[in-house]
Amino acid sequence: MNQPNTAVVVGAQWGDEGKGKIVDVLSSRFSVVARYAGGHNAGHTVTINGKRFVLQLVPCGILREGCRAVVGNGVVLDPFALLKEVDALRAAGVRVAGNLFVSNRAQVILPYHRMIELAAENAPGRVKIGTTSRGIGPAYEDKMGRRGLRVADLLDLSLLQTHIENACREKNMIAHALFNSEPLDPEEMFREYAKASQRIAPFVCDTAALLNQAIARGEAVMFEGAQGTMLDIDHGTYPFVTSSSATSGGAVIGTGVGPTSIGRVIGVTKAYCTRVGEGPFPTELHDATGEAIRKKGNEYGAVTGRPRRCGWLDLPLLRYSVMINGISWLVVTKLDVLDELAEIPVCVGYKINGKKMSEIPAQACGYEEIECVYETRPGWRKSTEGTPSVDKLPTKAREYLAFIEKESGARAGMISTGPGREQTIITADFAAELDRLALSS
- H or E segment to which residue 213 belongs: helix 207-216
CA 94 → CA 53, 61, 303, distances in Å?
11, 11, 21
Q: Is pLDDT larger for residue 112 or for residue 52? A: 112
> What are the φ/ψ torsions at residue 11 (nearest 5 degrees)?
-75, 130
- Note the pLDDT of residue 195: 97
Q: Look up the pTM and report it.
A: 0.93
**H-run or E-run covering 211:** helix 207-216
Please say whether the beta carbons of 181 and 112 come within 8 A: no
pLDDT at residue 224, rounded to an integer: 94
E strand residue ranges, 340-410: 343-352, 355-357, 370-378
Nearest alpha-carbon partner for 412 in 423, 399, 422, 421: 399
Q: What is the pLDDT of residue 129?
A: 59
Q: 224-239 b/e with 16+ CB inside 10 Å = b?
A: bbbbbbbbbbebbbee
Nearest to 18 by CA among 206, 299, 213: 299
Show which residues are catalytic: 16, 44
Lowest mean pLDDT among 20-29, 43-52, 329-338: 43-52
Angle between helices 186-200 and 157-179 (to 10 degrees): 130
The answer to whether the peptide bond before residue 239 is cis (omega within 30 degrees of 0) is yes
Helices (H), 343-427: 395-408
Whether the CB-CB separation of 269 and 410 falls below 8 Å is answered with no
CA distance 338 to 380: 9
Judge whether residue 1 has pLDDT over 70: no
Query: Count of CB atoms within 10 A of residue 141's CB?
Result: 15
Residue 248 contacts by C-beta under 8 Å, 6 or more apart in sequence? 8, 10, 223, 225, 262, 265, 324, 325, 326, 327
Q: What is the pLDDT of residues 385-432, one digit of tens each?
A: 999 999 999 999 999 999 999 999 999 999 999 988 889 999 999 999
Kindly report the average pLDDT of the chain as a whole number.
92
Strands 204-205 and 309-311, sheet pairing: unpaired
Q: Of 37-46, 165-174, 196-205, 354-363, which range is least confident?
A: 37-46
| pLDDT, tens only, 54-106 | 889 999 899 998 899 999 999 999 999 999 999 999 999 999 999 999 999 99
Question: Does the structure show a pLDDT above 90 at 174?
Answer: no
List pLDDT tens digits, range 276-309: 989 999 999 999 999 999 999 999 876 677 899 9
